[in-house]
């Protein structure tokens, strides 16, 4: 990894896009961002947090921190490198705990940048993102779960293909063992994104969206 080359790329290729963020939404910018992502992939910089066998750079923690400092200079830096939240964290969860079927269906297209995801934990009826205080429940029904609840501030929900949802599956268990993470495709019946919540007066999309 040559940080000087990446710094130059961020300055020359990404800084120039930033004025457009004030006049265009994500979907209007997406063709330009896709072109930048293509250049990142060709340079071998894609998905720096993921192992090489999954199509990433395979950086260690210190290398990733140094790179993240550079990418953080632009609001589109991490997205352009396939390293944006919450996708990066969801990739790591699926890599470490997903089944072979889940990795094929959700992880591989996520790592490739073909789809996006979101992470649903915070709820409007509880204070903060606290996994020991949630009202959303999941009750097993045969081979499936029936999930009931409302989520709040789900970053990246607009346009996501699936959510990783935190929900209570063992309400009588120890407080740190009550919850489970369940993959929910966003086209599942009953999954409803009500609205994009404005942040500092703006209801943006993709990397800024909160639903």
The per-residue pLDDT for range 79-119, each reduced to its tens digit, is: 999 999 999 999 999 999 999 999 999 999 999 999 999 99
Token duo for residue 183: 């993959």
Closest CA to 193 of 151, 139, 146, 148: 151
132, 197: one domain: yes
pLDDT at 210: 43
Tell me if 186 is assigned to some domain. yes
Final residue in a domain of this structure, among 36, 67, 84: 84
Final residue in a domain of this structure, among 64, 84, 104: 84
The per-residue pLDDT for range 30-44, each reduced to its tens digit, is: 999 999 999 999 999
CA distance 37 to 2: 17
Residue 23, pLDDT above cutoff 70: yes
Residue 208, pLDDT above cutoff 90: no
159, 203: one domain: yes
Bigger pLDDT: 46 vs 159: 46
The per-residue pLDDT for range 154-201, each reduced to its tens digit, is: 888 989 999 999 999 999 999 899 999 999 999 999 999 988 877 666
Distances (CA, A) of 177 to 45, 50, 98, 142, 169: 37, 28, 19, 22, 9
Distances (CA, A) of 165 to 16, 152, 172, 185, 202: 36, 11, 19, 10, 25
Tell me if 36 is assigned to some domain. yes
List the CATH number of the domain containing 76.
1.10.540.10
The per-residue pLDDT for range 114-137, each reduced to its tens digit, is: 999 999 999 998 877 788 889 999
- E-assigned strand segments in the chain: 117-120, 137-141, 144-148, 162-168, 179-185
pLDDT at 82: 97
List the CATH number of the domain containing 200.
2.40.110.10
pLDDT at 79: 95
pLDDT at 203: 62
Q: In Å, how far from its chain's centre is CA 186?
A: 14
144, 191: one domain: yes
Residue with the two structure tokens 């550079």:
70
**Domain containing 150: what range?**
117-208
Tell me if 96 is assigned to some domain. no
Tell me if 121 is assigned to some domain. yes
Tell me if 160 is assigned to some domain. yes
66, 139: one domain: no
CA distance 117 to 206: 10
pLDDT at 209: 41
- Mean predicted confidence (pLDDT) in 48-69: 96
Q: Count up the domains in the chain and report the number.
A: 2
Number of other residues whose CB lies within 10 A of the CB of residue 175: 9
Tell me if 105 is assigned to some domain. no
133, 199: one domain: yes
Tell me if 23 is assigned to some domain. yes
Distances (CA, A) of 82 to 152, 205, 208: 24, 17, 15
Tell me if 71 is assigned to some domain. yes
């Amino acid at each position: 990894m040559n940080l000087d080359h990446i710094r130059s790329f961020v300055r020359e290729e990404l800084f120039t896009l930033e004025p457009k963020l004030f006049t265009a939404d994500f979907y209007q910018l997406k063709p330009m961002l896709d072109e930048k992502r293509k250049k990142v992939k060709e340079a071998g910089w894609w998905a720096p947090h993921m192992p090489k066998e999954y199509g990433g750079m395979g950086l260690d923690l210190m290398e990733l921190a140094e790179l993240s400092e550079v990418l953080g200079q632009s609001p589109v830096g991490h997205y352009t490198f396939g390293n944006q939240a919450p996708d990066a964290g969801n990739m790591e969860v699926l890599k470490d705990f997903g089944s072979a079927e889940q990795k094929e269906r959700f992880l591989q297209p996520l790592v490739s940048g073909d789809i996006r995801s979101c992470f649903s934990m915070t709820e409007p009826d509880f204070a903060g993102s606290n996994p020991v205080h949630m009202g959303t429940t999941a009750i097993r029904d045969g081979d499936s779960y029936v999930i009931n609840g409302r989520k709040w501030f789900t970053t990246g929900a607009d346009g996501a293909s699936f959510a990783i949802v935190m929900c209570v599956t063992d309400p009588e268990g120890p407080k740190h063992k009550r919850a489970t993470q369940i993959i929910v495709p966003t086209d599942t019946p009953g999954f409803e994104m009500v609205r994009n919540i404005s942040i500092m007066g703006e209801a943006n999309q993709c990397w800024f969206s909160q639903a």
